[in-house]
Structure 1
Amino acid sequence: MPSTMKILPVTFALGMSPAVYAELESITDGELSSVTGQSGLTIDYSGRMSMQEFRYENDGKYVAEEIRSGGAGVTTAGAAAGYGENFDDARLTFDVATDGGLDILWQSQSGQPMDWGFSTGTVSVGDGEPGPRTRIYADIQSWGLLRTSQYSVLPAAETGLARSAVYNYAAFTVESLSSSDTPGTIGLQGGYIKSPDFMGNSLDDMNLTDQIPAWAGGQRARSTTPMDDLRAGFAAAEYTVYPLSAGEQGAPTDTIAIGVSGFAADIGVQNLSVGQGDLGRMTLDNLQVSDTIITLTP
């Protein structure tokens, strides 16, 4: 959900009055370089968002309807837990790093985790032609806590990939994930994503724990490390997105690559069903992924 808030700076700028624009002065390249590595724009935010439909079409069609996002209170379970509907206590910082990259960082104003929530009425897919679509999910509701989220645009010299790339890191939980078990859809009840030591397992005993300190892209704008976040009860994920040209690294066509530096979490669903057929409980304990590349071909 926080990624949807990246439109805020544009909205903020468009909303400025002519009088404010009149006070702005041009900045030379030399003046701009002097602010590199210093604090950039900071926005304190509280709000929620709704959308009637999100549609993505290529050879096929993916459609999500009746979308709501904000605080945990936009979901039934989050409201019952006492949370409000706004994604609030949130601070968004834009910073130009010393390496020339742009860092966009979500953190809380109070230092406490930010509650988030997301719901959508139906998710369906189709073959791109007019006519009925196949429903996959109905009434998805999810809420959790966000400790930090970072999105950085890195120059080629920083990525080591001979190209610019987008770096992402998040420390988060999914406290509750559910979807209705209506005919023909996937039903979920009691879903969660939390730190690998959520069930009392020691992080130090995990096979890949020694790789976790290598995460974090030189730490960049954050004040916490992945181990800090995992020990605080959050799942952690770090990945980089970059383009591959046809023929590069075996890519058949122009491709998007996702390089997963690391992911660590406990994942579970108390009850999983398909078409109202009960499949039982699923748990993935001490799940870790590292040094993995996923390619997406349009």
Structure 2
Amino acid sequence: MSSFLKMFPVALAFGMSPAAYAELESITDGELSGVTGQSGLTIDYSGRMSMQQFRYEDSGELVAEDIRSGGAGVTDAGLAAGYGENLDDARLTFDIAADGGLDILWQSQSGQSMDWGFVAGTVAVGDGAPGPRTRIFSDLQGWGQLRTAQHSVLPASESALNRSTIYNYAAFTTEALSSSKTSATIGIDGGYIKSPDFSGSGLDEMDLTDQIPAWAGGQRARSTTPMDDLRAGFAAVETSTYAVNAGEGAAVNDSLAIEVTGFAADVGAQNISVGQMDMGSVALDNIQISDTIVTLTP
């Protein structure tokens, strides 16, 4: 696995502005001396981040501009609901496990869920050449609650895939997702992602119950299970990301595989529009995805 893939969770965890770093709680010399020889590091965090542009390039490009993230209050809807602009009550834990894996865990300090928010002025795609891009979203905003998020870098000896793997798990909600309705973009009004309600049936009565024990990578570094998270009202998703070399199986070129071990949620929106045309509401209840692999090839 490339060094980039191994370091991606660390880069993600520290993708903060200097202003955000300034709000990390300081550690005294006495406290720091107690860390020596330990296998982990805990950081309590409160802050927000802004970024002028994010660009992903391969054979084409995906570009997001005027990005802000933090608490739910960075969005108009979150601010109206009374939330602040900082991601508060957050605790980031790094741990080197006995098996050599690196576990990175986001949880709250208080045990309550953390409100999050994200804004992008525009999201566009292009062919990578100079010139105009095709705008997909304008004024994309979303906020919700995060119960836990975990990233683990697993050595081949500990991965069920027998290869170096990045494991990801998250329990979250999206309470309000929106984007502006314009003549050339996709508009969203009242979008949401929440725990599946199973049409009022109890979670223990559903087929999903039999699949969930295989989730969550042996419960590495976490105190809750996917069933705990779903019962608490959160959507849950688990993925593994790993490199596939050219000539391996049906792969012609070096590629990146994203394996969705499990996903359970209700997803919907009050209205979707394409250009100026309203497409109406959408409600996808009790979505369940498992054992699905998506391969990204340059």
Change (3 A) 1:4 1:230: farther
Contact 2:236 2:263 in 1 (8 A): yes
Q: Give the match for residue 182 of structure 1.
A: 182
Q: Which amino acid aligns with 1:6?
A: A
3-state SS of 1:158 partner: coil
Contact 1:206 1:286 in 2 (8 A): no
Please state how far the C-alpha of 1:4 moved relative to its aligned partner.
7.0
Q: Which amino acid aligns with 2:152?
A: S
Contact 1:48 1:87 in 2 (8 A): yes
Change (3 A) 1:205 1:219: same
Q: Give the match for residue 193 of structure 1.
A: 193
3-state SS of 1:217 partner: helix
Change (3 A) 1:235 1:191: same
> Unaligned stretches of 5+ in structure 1?
none
1:129-144 to structure 2, matched below 5 A, reads 129-144=129-144
Structure 2 residue 51 is the aligned partner of structure 1 residue 51: yes
Contact 2:176 2:190 in 1 (8 A): yes
Change (3 A) 1:3 1:277: farther
Please state how far the C-alpha of 1:129 moved relative to its aligned partner.
1.5
Q: Which amino acid aligns with 1:189?
A: D
Q: Which amino acid aligns with 1:145?
A: Q
Q: Give the match for residue 110 of structure 2.
A: 110
Deviates more, 1:281-290 or 1:53-62: 53-62
Please state how far the C-alpha of 1:112 moved relative to its aligned partner.
0.7
Please state how far the C-alpha of 1:260 moved relative to its aligned partner.
1.2
Q: Give the match for residue 119 of structure 1.
A: 119
Structure 2 residue 155 is the aligned partner of structure 1 residue 155: yes
Contact 1:62 1:124 in 2 (8 A): yes
Please state how far the C-alpha of 1:80 moved relative to its aligned partner.
0.5
Query: Which of the numbers 10, 13, 17 marks the counterpart of 1:6?
Result: 13
Q: Which amino acid aligns with 1:7?
A: F
3-state SS of 2:200 partner: coil
Q: Distance in 1 between matches of 2:162 and 2:132?
A: 45
RMSD over aligned Cα atoms: 2.5
Spell out, residue by residue over 1:52-104, the C-alpha distance to the aligned partner (whole angstroms, 9 max, x if none): 11122222222111100000000000000000000010000011112111110
Q: Distance in 2 between matches of 1:76 and 1:9?
A: 22
3-state SS of 2:85 partner: coil
Q: Distance in 2 between matches of 1:107 and 1:206?
A: 28
Q: Distance in 2 between matches of 1:41 and 1:186?
A: 42
Q: Distance in 1 between matches of 2:192 and 2:198?
A: 10
Please state how far the C-alpha of 1:5 moved relative to its aligned partner.
5.4
1:13-28 to structure 2, matched below 5 A, reads none
Identity %: 69
Please state how far the C-alpha of 1:128 moved relative to its aligned partner.
1.5
Contact 1:103 1:153 in 2 (8 A): yes
Q: Give the match for residue 296 of structure 2.
A: 296
Contact 2:53 2:64 in 1 (8 A): yes
Q: Which amino acid aligns with 2:151?
A: Y
> Unaligned stretches of 5+ in structure 2?
1-8
Q: Distance in 2 between matches of 1:293 and 1:131?
A: 34
Change (3 A) 1:46 1:4: farther
Could you tell me the TM-score, scaled by structure 1's length?
A: 0.88
Spell out, residue by residue over 1:5-56, the C-alpha distance to the aligned partner (whole angstroms, 9 max, x if none): 51179977xx9xxxx8xx99xx8xxxx6xx45xxx10000000001111122
